[in-house]
Amino acid sequence: MGDIKETIKNNAYLNSCDCPVCGKHIPRGYEERTFFCERCGTHLHQRAFTGKEVEVAIFDKEMDEYEDN
């Protein structure tokens, strides 16, 4: 078992994160999980988003939809 690295740029609004090794943009959900980067094979861990982060993301989404109308 190698080291597991934390994903970076975890974004609850865009549902994405980046691989800290190769910088690959990876789609993600709200939950915690471990997986392997498709590009460089690094074992990655994404933390779960906090309730606050999800709340802010939902709020920002609603604001964007509002502005589009």
- The residues that touch Zn ion, with contacts defined as CB under 5 A, are 19, 21-22, 24, 37, 39-40, 42
The DSSP bridge partners found for residue 27 are: 16
Supply the minimum distance, in Å, between the C-beta of residue 50 and Zn ion. Answer: 24
CB of 35 to Zn ion, least distance (A): 11
Report the residue number, 42 or 46, with the smaller CB distance to Zn ion.
Answer: 42
Output 22 or 58, the one with its CB closest to Zn ion.
22
